[in-house]
Amino acid sequence: MTYRQARWAREGCLEPLVFELSKAGRMGASLPRAPARVKIPEKLTRTSLELPELSEPQVVRHYTRLSQMNYGVDSGFYPLGSCTMKYNPKVCDELVNLDGAAHIHPYQAEETVQGALELMYRLERHLAEIAGVSRVCLHPSAGAHGELLGMLLVRAYHKSTGSKRTEVIVPDSAHGTNFASAAMAGFNVVVVPSNNRGRVDLGALREAVSNRTAALMLTNPNTLGLFEDEILEIAEAIHKVGGLLYYDGANLNGILGKARPGDMGFDIVHFNLHKTFSTPHGGGGPGAGPIGVVRKLEKFLPVPVIEYDRRRKRYYLDYNRPNSIGKIKSFYGNFGVLVKAYAYILLMGAEGLEEVSEAAVLNANYIMRKLLKVEGYELKFDTSGPCKHEVVFSAEPLKKKYGVRAHFVAKRLLDFGMHAPTYYFPPIVPEALMIEPTETETKEELDQFIEALKQIAEEARSDPEKLQAAPTATAIARLDEVKASREPILSWRMYRKLAKK
Amino acid sequence: MKKLGLIVNPIAGMGGRVGLKGTDSPEILAKARELGAEPVAPARAVEALRVLKHHMAKFELLTYPAEMGADEAEAAGLEVRVIGKITSGKTTAEDTKRAAKEMLLEKVDLILFAGGDGTAADTIKAVDALVPILGIPTGVKMHSAVFANTPQAAGEIAARFLREGLPLQQAEVMDIDEEAYRENRLVAKLLGYANVPYEPVMMQATKEGSSGFELADQKAIARGVVELMEKRRIYVLGPGTTTRAVAEELGIYDSTLLGVDLVKDYKLLARDVNERQILKAIRGKPTTIVVSPIGKQGFILGRGNQQLSPEVVRCVGKENVWVLATPHKLSLTPTLKVDTGDSELDREFRGYIRVITGYRQTRMVKVV
């Protein structure tokens, strides 16, 4: 298959911004004139709105062109490790656009949004069952927001028992957000190294725990895609000193329906609905990072919680919770995301969810076994057993032999019409390529990906310049990534400010 | 156009294969030649230059004649401007120093040298930290932190530095007493600091909070350490830039970089103290030792800070030794070492210790 991304450009300049296309007097829709009697206070009136002026077909073409120069799960393979970029079923989008979901307002009276409350109430219970915890809070509006809530719950719990706990333990393979969330909640962070099997070094962990330990934050399967098989020993070491176990839900897709964090000893369980439960993310939509807890932590959950009054047969929002840590969001969560996740759970059913992790793990292992035979890529840790839903290869042999680094491989993959894997993460693997195929890919798609990586390894030997120049088939070639993340231009205003400079 | 100075110490590393642990004196060099030692530095320098050429199209290359750079540049297919004079086949440390000094006057952007600790020491003796330097590892002793991991890496880092302008970091230059080394004793002196291009071993994706550059990390560590400090306790600050950052965070700007200072009640109590002075000051008083791993091998005690003798450490107690290291430094030395000269004390340190790696952040690191 050859790939060539659309590139809409005139005289070397990419598709102009919608503001640059504007011409005075052009119109997309004519609105009725406002009745003259509406009086607007003078200080609120504006003389100019600076809205672009275009015809409807101009607008449609503009956005169609932009979408053609974009790439997403709907365009092709997207093995971005740790992000679980699985296909988002369209029916879930349909449901969230129903009037009852799209046109309600959080300030509506409770009795007029009973359906919405019921949906959230039921979603909480489904998630609690999936994770093996007793209660779930849907409020956090992103994964990291959920982490912060988890850490605030840890703090509230220890405060209630009167013990001074200052430290949160995080393995060196953890997502960077873990360190930040613990610090944001006021804890000191203690990093424990991984052992040569790519799991938490139990010896180091035992040395790290003390009566200062507030919690351990752990991702399982971890960011190497490996199951922490000493999880019961780990849990015991933490619980023995009175600490809590926090589960980072980034990799729940690897054990969905097979194992429950609650059964492993976790006290706080975090979800990424936008990963595991297939709601769009990564520019495609907002996220949701619910937090589940065991019974002893329930009373600390943020207000309001949704309760059901059996006598009056009514759902209601309960603010009367004296031990609650308070509010962490203005309302009750990103409702649209919750609807999609709920729809996804019902769509799959219990057996379907189990099949999700089976297929995700099978796909990752298929790639692992095939790629192990390709010269240029190697595994740095345990290769004896299977991986879970993702696998982290190292392109170090290519770097050592031909000076070809992991990001060259990633960039060249774009020329094959595939999204790149996550690279240089986790940082404990040199030249890391973190591949997560997800369950929704066909065998043919996986084979093409493996073929592409094989061809790139071959090119590293025969034509390294080609890799340095890649990508060439995309709308935009290589970006100055440092500049792009340090000085992002995300709006017309930012663009104009920069142009003035 | 960017200017690169190249110095090859052609005899560096010759003592290695024949078991002589270095070539610092002419007699030893003669002995090495007698034992059939072959030059190793030129070939490794060529490897680095080939990678450099691959990554970098245009730059001006300055070097010394014949085996001190001109030959290697030619072998790598690079155009070169030759300066200075040498007696081919009889080069000495003086030639290295003179070459470095002339390159300083020529305002080169970077001095790329091929050699070991001795060559690094000679270079900074001549140019101090006025010119950034980077070592192609070819010596026998490479305890200094100025060397790339491989010749190829040296070429790549040099190219990136010239092309994109990597930030600079300070790195220890160590000098090992060769006499003692041959007798299996390691007496390491911290000679000074060089500026070297900073290339984090791991390029971090934006996903995890990349810790940024080393100076910022040192500042974060210093901030955290100062928060932990108590009144009426004596703090023994070992050598190095990380511990100096602690002093600066306290507002002490005249601490020693290479020596040991004492701090009490957030003020400098004594400067550049020796073992006896330390013992006199700390006996019977609550004390904490603050050290950072020295050099590339990750020694926390016994290298470059011999003032912190076994007696001093015992007097303070193992639990009162704070070890500071930036994540970058730990990535170069994933395990730490102690060699106080007292094997029983060394044993006490083995196993996992907590290293302060950032603001309110520690890491469990193995001492082996």
A282-326, pLDDT tens digit by residue? 766 789 999 999 999 999 999 999 999 999 999 999 999 999 999
Measured between alpha carbons, how far is A272 from B249 in angstroms, rounded to an integer?
A: 40
At residue B276, does pLDDT exceed 50?
Answer: yes
Confidence band (pLDDT; 50, 70, 90) for A157? Answer: very high
Per-domain residue ranges of chain B: 3-197, 214-367
Please report residues of A whose CB lies closer than 8 A to that of B365: 193
Contact criterion met (CB < 8 Å) for B205 and A183: no
Q: Write down the pLDDT at residue B295.
A: 66
pLDDT tens per residue across span B316-354: 999 999 999 988 788 777 789 888 878 899 999 999 999
Average pLDDT over residues B63-80: 90
Query: Between the CA atoms of A143, A166, A192 and B297, what dihedral angle is there, to the nearest 10 degrees?
Result: 130
Q: Write down the pLDDT at residue B201.
A: 54
Contact criterion met (CB < 8 Å) for B207 and A427: no
Phi, psi of B137 (to 5 degrees): -70, 110
Element (H, E) at B135: strand B133-137
Kindly state the tokens that stand for B100.
Answer: 């470095």
At residue B309, does pLDDT exceed 50?
Answer: yes
At residue B13, does pLDDT exceed 80?
Answer: no
Measured between alpha carbons, how far is B340 from B311 in angstroms, rounded to an integer?
A: 10
User: Nearest residue on chain B to A484, judged by CA atoms?
Assistant: B206
User: What ipTM was predicted for this assembly?
Assistant: 0.84
- Helix axis angle for B214-228 and B241-249, nearest 10°, is 50
User: What is the topology classification, in CATH, of domain B3-197?
Assistant: Rossmann fold (3.40.50)
Contact partners, residue A484, CB within 8 Å, separation at least 6: none
Contact criterion met (CB < 8 Å) for B208 and A485: no
pLDDT tens per residue across span B225-249: 999 999 999 999 998 889 999 999 9
Is A193 part of the contact surface with chain B (CB cutoff 8 Å)? yes
pLDDT tens per residue across span A15-69: 999 999 999 999 988 888 877 777 889 888 888 888 899 999 999 999 999 999 9
The chain-wide mean pLDDT, for chain A, equals 94
Please report residues of B whose CB lies closer than 8 A to that of A193: 363-366
* CB within 8 Å of chain A, chain B residues 190-219: 201-210
Whether B214-367 and B3-197 are alike in CATH topology: the answer is yes
At residue B143, does pLDDT exceed 70?
Answer: yes
Q: What percentage of chain B reaches a pLDDT higher than 70?
A: 90
Kindly state the tokens that stand for B128.
Answer: 């101090």
Q: Omega of the bond prior to A52 within 30 degrees of 0, cis?
A: no
- Please indicate whether residue A205 or residue B199 has the higher confidence score (pLDDT): A205
Confidence band (pLDDT; 50, 70, 90) for B198? Answer: confident
Judged on CB neighbours under 10 Å (0-12, 13-18, 19+), A379 is: middle
pLDDT tens per residue across span A242-289: 999 999 999 999 999 999 999 999 999 999 999 999 999 976 678 999
* CB within 8 Å of chain A, chain B residues 42-71: 51, 54-55
Is B333 part of the contact surface with chain A (CB cutoff 8 Å)? no
Pairing outcome for strands B60-63 and B81-82: parallel
Q: Write down the pLDDT at residue B200.
A: 59
Confidence band (pLDDT; 50, 70, 90) for B189? Answer: confident
Query: Between the CA atoms of B357, B358, B361 and B363, what dihedral angle is there, to the nearest 10 degrees?
Result: -10
- Please indicate whether residue B356 or residue A400 has the higher confidence score (pLDDT): B356
Q: Write down the pLDDT at residue B205.
A: 28
Average pLDDT over residues A153-159: 98
Please report residues of A whose CB lies closer than 8 A to that of B363: 172, 190-193
At residue B182, does pLDDT exceed 90?
Answer: no
All structural domains of chain A: 92-347 (3.40.640.10), 354-486 (3.90.1150.10)
Structural domain B214-367, CATH architecture: 3-Layer(aba) Sandwich (3.40)
